[in-house]
Structure formats: C-alpha cells, structure tokens
C-alpha cells in the first residue's frame, strides 16, 4: 500500500494541497458557540494585525508588540524566498483584500537594507510606514511626495505621481541601484506611464508587486511587467474558503435602464449620458426598496459620477436614511453641498454609524478598507473584473462577529453584463469565453457559504446578450481597432498579444483559422492595414520565414538568442560566428527572468560563470540542432558558421521585414513567459479536479 498509494510531499505537492484546503466546517460550529463571548487571543491578534495593515486605530495595535507572519503571509514568504533562490529578481504576489499584503512586504524586506515603497495615495504610504516601523523598528523612514523630498532614509515611501516624473529619476536624487528592494502597491496600476518610468529606471535586487486584482485593467497586461512570475496567489475564493474573509450574499436585481440608448465608444459609455440615465427617481426608489430589505447599518454605494453620487445621497437623506456622497479627496471640491463630505470625515462617520451609506465615485475601490461595512451596492455598469472584485472586496474584511456581507447589484443590458456570474467566482482566468451557449457557473464554483441569487429576468437577459455577441472575426477586428486607437499606432504581434481581451485570446488560439498570431502579416493584409512595403513581403521567402518563427515549438527559450544573433540589433546578418552566438546568449541570459531555464537544469545552473565555450556548446547541441531539423529550408551550417538561407538576402535591409522579425522574437518571448505561468496554474487545477 505504501509503494502504490504514497506520494512524495515536496514543495509542489504542498502548494497544490494548500490551494485545495478549506476551513473545516467544525470551526463554524465552534464560532457559533463563541458568539457573544470574547474572541480567542489568537483571533484577536489576527484581527488587530489585519486592522493595523489597513490603517485602523493605532491604539488597537499596541497589543501586538512583536508582529509575526500569519496565514497567507507564511506561505507567501516561503515562496518569495524560493523564487529569489531560483534566480528571479521580480515577482507578483496576488492576494485578496484583507490578507495583509503590506505586512507581507515588510517581513519579506527584512534582509534588505534600502527599501522603496510606491503607492498612488499618500494615506496608503502613511499606513505602510506604520506597518514597516513595527516590523523594522530600527530603520529610518522618509517620504518622497508633495513638499517632502527625503532621499537618505533606509525606507522611502513615495507616491508614483511624484517619483514617476523624469526629473526625479536621476542621479541627483537617486542612483539606479539606490534601492535593494522595491515594493509597488496596487500593482495593477503599474501599466501607467509613471509606474513604468520607475520600473524601467531602478535596478533593485528584487521588485515586488502587490495586488488583489492582477487581471488586465482595460486589457493591459500587468503580469508582463514581472515576466509572468506570480510568486504566490491567494484569490478571493481561496481566501473565503480558508476563513480569511467573510462570505458574501449576492443579489442580482433587475434594472430596466436601457443602456443601448447610451453612446458607447472605445470600451466606455458616455459619462454624461450615463449619469443622466442613472439619476432618476424610479431607479433610486428601486435601490432604496432593496436596501431596506437587509437592515444594513454601514453600506457603500458605487456610482457612475459626481452627479449620480450626489443624487443618490440626497434621495436617501430625503427618505430618512443618513447618507453622504464622497467624490474627491480634495475638500475644496465639496461644492458647498451639504450632501458631500470629504473622504476622511465620511469614513469616520460611517464607522461610528452616524451615517449609514456612503455613495462614492471610484474613491473606495482600493486603498482604505472599512471592515465594518455590511453591504456594498453596485449602482453602475461594472464591466471590468478588476473593478468588480475591488468593489466586492470592500465588504469582505472580517470584523468582530461579522458573518457575511450583503451585495446588491443592479443589472441592466449593459455591455458584458453576462460575465458577472463568472466574476463572482473570484477567479476570472477560469473563464475563457469558449462556451457557445451561456450557462451560470455551478454552485461549487463559488466560494463556500456564499449565496448567489439572480432575478430570473436577469438570467434571461444574460442568455440573450450572450447569443447576440458578434462573431469571432468581428471581435478580433474590433480588438485590433481598439488597441490601435489606444496606442495611437498600428499594433504588431507583441502589442496585440499584450492588450487583447483574455477571453478572446483563449478562444482564437484553439482555432487555427482565426489565430492571427500564426500569420500576422496575412491578417494585416486581410483587414487592409498592411503598408505597401508589407504587402510586398506577402508570399515571399521572408513571409515564410516569419511564419516559421511565429509557429516554431518552444519548450525552452534557447532559440530566441540564436535569432537575436541574426537580427544583430537591426543590422541583420545571414551568417553568424561563434562569437556572435556567445555575445547574444550572454546578453539574453543577463536578464534574470530569461535565465530560469538555465538555473533549473543542473548542467547549466552555473551559467553565470560561463564563457564562450559553454554558451556555444549549449547553442550547438540544442537550438541550432533543432532549427536545422525543423526548419532546414531556412537554417544550415557551413564552415563553422550558422547560416540563414541566401534567399533571405534581398530582405535583410528591408525595414518592414526587420521590424516584423524583431516583433516576432519579442512576441514569442512574452508568450513563453505567459505559458510558463499557465502551466503552473494548470498543475494546481489538475490537483483540484483529482481531489
């Protein structure tokens, strides 16, 4: 039995087991018995640390004199240490709101001397400073934001708006290697230019991105910024299943608002028209009616804009419910309106139950948590899974005897409304858009003890909307136009791959006839986007060569530095020497994320000490050999040189060909990173299904 039934309990097995573990039901019975009694010391400590991590009253944290890692932090710290030992110099931790990400970063930074913490709000920086001080009490702290420009402290807390400016990214303020460890909070924002400026400038020993919602915000690939190295993940469903967050009771309410009458461009509704459509007595009365069903004491309502938030606050106040609108951090923007409060004052009043509802506009999606919240209301179209999960997470923090949070979602015929059932599973990467017929996820797809209840009219609406979706080719063309408009330039493979809707990509990559990445040049020609110079490449040897690179199999990245040797920084060669191969390999594997394959193989684990002989030997026995076998019409060896067919000679100075050749290499490299991450996910999912 031992030989046939036992398994080796290694790191991978422990990770898979952790993903499938759920809080035993016996704990629920114990908690019921403890209702009305004092919390255990352990749960008190856990709650106090979580409160502190999110900026709760400082006095409550004095009990925790020496904070230590707890729950998901322990697992994440182990994985971070392992990731660095594997050679990574950057990575993402994905953890649901309320699981202590700031404390995690502080614990992980203990062995690093100089630390930079980046966020987009000063209040987040202030909370982070308190957290780091408790973990590293001897470290000096400073701020690089507003009027403060500290540069010499051990830990610098900076807003991205300040440090992301080019004038501060210079040796006169900070050298490129000024920090050993950089933390970027709410990492899903990092696709913005100011974040990219910081990421591209500094060269830390390790960069850590923290987020609860890494999926593409407006289809921008956050994972790519850390080379798809997701070090640790504890998503919404897992966090609820393990008892780290409270369950939700979700109610989808049918909303008669006709969104088809509102202009929709570039993935967004016209803001003015949307506010006008949502700010009316009939809809406000529907919201008030459902709000009163659940005896809420502290609720958040997410609105479409300033006018909508003020309208809802006034309507609730006029109907006997204490409410306010929060529309900006700036006290000067309250317009003197008695229904509008600044953020800090509104939060304090909500905590004390002096008001019962805050209506806001993107002000509480992230940053400051209010654990006492017992209801969240979605009062506008929420098409982005990132925003949806952020708003849902506002009510899931544990607090005292809080057992669940009520969620009211007012759903009409707005774009992509039918994806909401998948958002509620807390793991949108599981949705691939392949299903021809719409179906609600199964009960077991949702977190344990959660209730999901849709009005039957909404189910019919979802089915009708899914059936009316455009054909796949039309979707691809729409995506191309959207990305072109976003970038203000014609997108090639890498750009399309980076920004394409995830569900659409998962669908087309299984359909050869629709997979534009198998022959991108022909796709451009088909939709009338190929330039005259690109049209001249169609059907030539150069075109066939690009298709070969687009479709070549890759279990490791060894082919890429060989191709880069031919590319030669744009001065393309048909024949490369051992010296060319050596230089290209050494440069390619100087990037830590590229070197993971080498580090995992015992024969190449010491690559850092390699010279020309070792790199050329690797190239000859692997990529060069297989390129000649699988693509002999393009690659051959002659007199010790590795060569491309002479039929490509007319094209090696062609600007369009060179641009497409380099883009294809970059796209295949990016794709390799992503598929490596998908394999990691697949192994965990396979374990769950076997369970």
CA angle 381, 382, 388 (to 5 degrees): 155
CATH topology match: 72-234 vs 248-468: yes
Cα torsion 162, 168, 173, 174 to 10°: value is 90
How would DSSP label each residue in 99-164? S-HHHHHHHHTTT-SSEEEEESSHHHHHHHHHHHHHHSTTS-EEEEETTEE--SSSEEEEEHHHHT
Cα–Cα nearest to 16, from 294, 317, 233, 315 = 233
C-alpha 453/C-alpha 363 separation (Å) is 27
Q: What pLDDT does 189 receive? A: 75
DSSP 38: P
Q: List the domain boundaries for the chain.
A: 72-234, 248-468
CA 267 to CA 304: how far, in whole Å? Answer: 15
Sign of dihedral through CA atoms 50, 56, 62, 66?
A: positive
Q: Which residue has the tokens 């191309």?
A: 480
The confidence score (pLDDT) of residue 42 equals 42
Q: What pLDDT is stored for residue 46 in this prediction?
A: 47
368's tokens: 């400051």
**pLDDT-flagged residues of the chain (< 70):** 28-66, 191, 215-221, 266-267, 328-337, 363-369, 427-438, 468-470, 681-691
pLDDT given at position 191:
67
CATH number of 72-234: 3.90.190.20, 3.30.470.160, 3.40.50.300, 3.40.50.1370? 3.40.50.300
Closest CA to 472 of 418, 513, 443: 513
Cα separations in angstroms, 593 against 83, 557, 583: 11, 11, 18
Quick count: other Cβ atoms within 10 Å of Cβ 649?
Answer: 12
This prediction has a pTM of 0.73
For 469-506, b where at least 16 C-beta lie within 10 A, e where not — what string?
Answer: eeeeeebbbebbebbeebeeeebbbbbbbbbbbbbbbb
Those residues whose C-beta lies under 8 Å from the C-beta of residue 88, and which sit 6 or more positions away, are: 206, 227, 229, 231, 592, 593, 596
- Phi then psi dihedrals of residue 451, to 5 deg: -110, 130
DSSP annotation string for 344-371 = HHHHHHHHTTSSSEEEESSSSSSS---T
Considering the four listed CATH numbers 3.40.50.1100, 3.40.50.300, 1.10.1240.10, 3.20.20.10, the one that applies to the domain covering 248-468 is 3.40.50.300
């Amino acid at each position: 039995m031992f030989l046939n039934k036992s398994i080796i309990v290694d790191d991978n097995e422990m990770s898979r087991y952790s993903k499938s573990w759920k809080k035993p039901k016996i704990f629920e019975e114990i908690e019921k018995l403890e209702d009305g009694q004092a919390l255990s010391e352990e749960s008190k400590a856990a709650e106090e640390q979580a409160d502190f991590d999110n900026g709760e009253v400082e006095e409550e944290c004095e009990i925790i004199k020496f904070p230590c890692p707890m729950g998901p932090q322990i697992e994440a710290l182990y994985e971070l240490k392992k990731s660095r030992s594997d050679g990574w110099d950057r990575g993402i931790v994905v953890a649901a709101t309320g699981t202590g990400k700031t404390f995690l970063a502080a614990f992980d930074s203990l062995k690093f001397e100089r630390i930079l913490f980046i966020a987009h709000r000063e209040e987040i920086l202030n909370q982070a400073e308190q957290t780091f001080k408790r973990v590293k009490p001897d470290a000096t702290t400073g701020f690089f934001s507003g009027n403060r420009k500290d540069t010499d402290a051990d830990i610098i807390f900076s807003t991205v708006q300040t440090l992301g400016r080019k004038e501060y990214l210079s040796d006169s303020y900070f050298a490129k290697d000024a920090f050993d460890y950089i933390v970027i909070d709410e990492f899903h924002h990092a696709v913005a230019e100011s974040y990219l400026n910081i990421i591209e400038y500094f060269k830390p020993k390790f960069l850590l991105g923290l987020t609860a919602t890494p999926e593409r915000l407006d289809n921008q690939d956050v994972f790519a910024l850390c080379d798809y190295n997701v070090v640790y993940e504890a998503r919404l469903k897992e966090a609820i299943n393990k008892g780290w967050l409270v369950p939700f009771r979700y109610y989808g309410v049918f909303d008669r608002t006709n969104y088809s009458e509102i202009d929709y461009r570039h993935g967004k509704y016209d803001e003015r028209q949307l506010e006008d459509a949502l700010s009316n007595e009939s809809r406000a009365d529907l919201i008030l009616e459902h709000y009163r069903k659940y005896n809420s004491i502290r609720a958040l309502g997410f609105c479409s804009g300033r006018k909508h938030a003020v309208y809802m606050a006034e309507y609730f106040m006029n109907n006997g419910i204490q409410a306010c609108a929060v529309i900006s951090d700036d006290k000067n923007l309250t317009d003197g309106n008695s229904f509008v409060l600044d953020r800090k004052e509104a939060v304090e009043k909500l905590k004390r139950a002096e008001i019962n509802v805050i209506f806001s506009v993107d002000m509480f999606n992230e940053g400051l948590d209010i654990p006492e919240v017992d209801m969240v209301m979605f009062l506008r179209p929420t098409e982005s899974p990132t925003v949806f999960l952020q708003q849902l997470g506002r009510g899931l923090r544990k607090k005292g005897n809080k057992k669940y949070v009520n969620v009211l979602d007012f759903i009409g015929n707005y774009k992509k409304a039918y994806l909401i059932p998948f958002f509620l599973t807390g793991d949108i990467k599981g949705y691939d858009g392949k299903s021809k017929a719409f179906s609600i996820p199964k009960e077991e797809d949702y977190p344990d003890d959660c209730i999901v209840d849709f009005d039957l009219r909404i189910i019919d609406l979802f089915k009708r909307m899914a059936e009316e979706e455009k054909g796949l080719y039309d979707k691809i063309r729409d995506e191309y136009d959207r990305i072109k408009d976003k970038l203000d330039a014609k997108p090639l493979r890498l750009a399309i791959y980076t920004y394409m809707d995830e569900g659409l990509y998962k669908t087309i990559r299984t359909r050869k006839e629709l997979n534009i990445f198998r022959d991108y040049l022909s796709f451009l020609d088909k939709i009338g986007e190929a330039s005259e110079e690109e049209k001249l490449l169609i059907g030539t040897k150069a075109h066939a060569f690009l298709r070969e690179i687009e479709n070549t199999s890759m279990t490791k990245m060894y082919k890429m530095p060989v191709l880069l040797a031919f590319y030669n920084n744009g001065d393309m060669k048909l024949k490369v020497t051992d010296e060319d191969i050596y230089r290209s390999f050494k440069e390619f594997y100087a990037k830590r994320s590229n070197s993971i394959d080498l580090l995992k193989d015992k024969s190449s684990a010491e690559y850092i000490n390699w010279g020309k002989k070792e790199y050329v030997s690797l190239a000859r026995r692997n990529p060069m050999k297989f390129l000649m076998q699988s693509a002999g019409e393009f690659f051959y060896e002659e007199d010790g040189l590795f060569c491309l067919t002479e039929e490509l000679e007319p094209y090696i100075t062609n600007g369009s060909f060179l641009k497409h050749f380099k883009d294809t290499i970059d796209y295949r490299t990016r794709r390799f990173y992503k598929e490596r991450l998908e394999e990691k996910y697949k192994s965990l999912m396979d374990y769950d299904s076997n369970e």
